[in-house]
Chains A and B, each alone.
Chain A
Amino acid sequence: MPAIFRPSANLAAAVTLLALAGLGVGGVALWWLWPRTDYARHVRWPVGQPVPFSHEHHVAGLGLDCRFCHNSVEVSATAGLPPTTTCMTCHSQIWTNAAVLAPVRLSLASDTPIAWNRINDLPDYVYFNHGIHIAKGVGCASCHGEVDRMALTYKASSLTMQFCLDCHRDPGPRLRPKDQIFNTQWQRTADTASPAALMGEYHLRNGRRLTDCSICHR
């Protein structure tokens, strides 16, 4: 009876087994590491907008406060996007004929809000509330980064559950004094009140309740 397999079959078997093992290891590595990349999380990706609005120009350059446009951030779940009339506070007077602002004028004329594209999107099963974070001493920049340095706005943090929990498990060092919440450049210094003192000031007690499931998932 002739042999069923030629000698090269040994090599084929070894290569197949190695390839399967490699596929297993590679697959696990990919599955593990891929969700952590900025690419997968869309971090630092400027999103195209109807109008190329520059936070850098309006905040760092002109000195607008965050709340001038995002005016419900202290009292509501959502920070709020400005109505076109807010833009027109100035732009009815300056750059009235700029081509880049044509969508803004059209929006006012047709009474239709500008359709901005969302940059920071949490899953629908997360009940995030801006108001409580501001009230308890979390600065805008803690999640949104240095928005006043963004010519085009992008997502600054991964916004994974890990990212939320890092702070919820140990909020103290991330808290800031009340008057620095809207300052995107603030850094903790030697003069800053201790994390424990800030925890006390904001009545967070030991912060244990912050990791209850129902704090974020209702």
Chain B
Amino acid sequence: MSDAAPTIGSMTDDICAIALRKRPALWWRIAILGAALLTALLVGAIAWLFYAGIGIWGIDWPVVWGFAIISYVWWIAIASGGTFISALFYLMQVEWRTSLNRIAETMTLCAAVCAGIYPILHLGRPWLFYWLFPYPNTMGVWPQFRSPLLWDFFAILTYVTSSILFWYLGLVPDLATLRDRALTRKRQVLYGALALGFRGEDRQWRHYRAAYGVLAAIMAPLVVSVHSIVGLDFAGAATVGWHSTEFPPFFVFGALLSGFAMVLLLIVPLRRLLQLEAFITGRHLDVLSRLLLLSSLLVGYAYVMDVFSVFYSPDEAERTAFMAKVHGSYAPIYWATILFNIALPQVLWFRRVRLNQPVIMLVCLAVIVGMWCERYTIVVMSVRRTALPSSWGDYHGTFWDWATLFGTVGLFLTGILLAVRFLPVISMFEMRALLAKRPNDGGGT
């Protein structure tokens, strides 16, 4: 790769070369092996779950929501950040988005798939998941339309479907480029079929841009709706610590925080490994770090309001549950949440830190772990200290809980690795438009 500023031609060459290379790099082969092993663990854990039932998990009375719900919320939040970058910043015509949107959308898709697995596994009889769907059935009953849990089903279904469409539609012109540059017949047919006959005609471009704009306009509010409804899953229940109007925006803030953290966590190593430094520059890291800091402050505000509403309310049960949260046996998890999500990201106030890649990686990793701890606090703490002391209990994840969690991490990584191997990691057609606009580049091929 040349050190000079990329031109339209060199950019297309470089990005296509990554997808079209015959033999993947060593790091990729090692990484996919690890990811595939973890995915195999997930398959094993799910198979055992189907056979033995959810008794293999740690959930029981009174803590009936455990790892499945924690990890579901965690993944769907990570997914949201990607959509936020690709859809909202597209509508706002932010140019730096062009280098990131493909990776961000791929991350959204993989995370949303991981998230979607959990609620189905959590059902107890997962093979009857379609009962959630309101169809005229022989049981003569309908789902409870007033329950946020049903809205959640629709929100996730809509979100996953639109994410796939948005991601795929964004890929079509680039798949056409790959089709034209593929060296083997097999690749030509594969990319050609996926490109759906896109030839770059004027009429096709016109329709394409209209469709993409409409999808982006649909996706941007979906980020907010999907995560508000996840918040309502909790707020809708008259449970100590959950029954709060603060939850929907609080969950959206958390989604932005974990989404930005995961995007950074992916692009910092990927730009090195795939030599994308010319496209994903220090400026991108700087902007994303600022967004991370902002969303960390928003989440911090939500934490403060959480404390405020507990002590503003006259409810003794709320206070007891809160004290158990900050002072009880699980207090380290609460304080880890505060440390990882609020305290640590404050280092990003300094520009030097924002450009220090190892430090950014550490902060992002801490945020990802911190957000998981936050959901652990929300899900487990409230139901183990309910308003009725006689039904207090405890909760611990079992081996199968952890296996499922790390299994979905493997599934996520497998998806990301396959995408960076076989698809263009940067949206080439948008990058071409961006490069053409540069004054001293001239847009030559």
Contacts and interface: CB of A to CB of B under 8 A. Distances in A.
Interface of A: 4-5, 10, 13, 32, 35-36, 158, 160-166
Given A4-B179, A5-B189, A166-B140, 12 more contacts: A4-B188, A4-B189, A4-B192, A5-B192, A13-B193, A13-B197, A36-B138, A160-B139, A161-B139, A162-B137, A164-B140, A165-B141
Contacts of A164: 140
Interface of B: 135-141, 179, 188-189, 192-193, 196-197
Nearest to B140: A162
B176 to A, nearest CB: 11
B188 A160 contact: no
A160 B197 contact: no
A32 B134 CA distance: 12
A13 B179 CA distance: 16
Contact of A162 (B135, B138, B192, B196): B138
21 contacts: A4-B189, A4-B192, A5-B189, A10-B197, A13-B193, A13-B197, A35-B137, A35-B138, A36-B138, A158-B138, A160-B138, A160-B140, A161-B139, A161-B141, A162-B137, A162-B138, A162-B139, A162-B140, A163-B140, A164-B140, A165-B141
Contacts of B196: 13
Contacts of B139: 160-162, 165
Contact of A32 (B136, B140, B188, B192): B136
Contacts of B135: 32
Nearest to B193: A13
Contacts of A158: 138
Contacts of B197: 10, 13
A10 B192 CA distance: 12
Nearest to B185: A4
Q: From DSSP, what is the main secondary structure of chain B's interface residues? A: loop
**Cβ-closest 4 pairs across A and B:** A162-B140, A161-B139, A160-B138, A165-B140
B191 to A, nearest CB: 9
A32 B135 CA distance: 8
- Interface of chain A, main secondary structure: helix
A157 to B, nearest CB: 12
Contacts of A166: 140
B9 to A, nearest CB: 18
Contacts of A162: 137-140
Nearest to B135: A32
A158 B139 CA distance: 11
- Which one of B135, B139, B196 has the greatest number of beta carbons of chain A within 10 Å? B139
Contact of B138 (A4, A5, A13, A161): A161
Contacts of A35: 137-138
A166 B140 CA distance: 8
Contacts of B140: 160-166
A165 B137 CA distance: 12
Nearest to A1: B180
Contacts of A13: 193, 196-197
A113 to B, nearest CB: 33
Contacts of A163: 140
Contacts of A32: 135-136
A63 B197 CA distance: 77
A160 B137 CA distance: 10
A4 to B, nearest CB: 5
A166 B137 CA distance: 13
Contacts of B192: 4-5
A166 to B, nearest CB: 7
A35 B130 CA distance: 15
B147 to A, nearest CB: 15
B142 to A, nearest CB: 11
A36 B135 CA distance: 13
Nearest to A13: B197
A158 to B, nearest CB: 7
A120 B193 CA distance: 53
A109 B197 CA distance: 80
Contacts of A160: 138-140
Contacts of B138: 35-36, 158, 160-162
A209 B192 CA distance: 61
A35 B139 CA distance: 10
Nearest to B180: A1
A34 B87 CA distance: 42
A10 B141 CA distance: 45
Contacts of B136: 32
Contacts of A4: 179, 188-189, 192
B228 to A, nearest CB: 30
Nearest to B189: A4
A5 B196 CA distance: 12
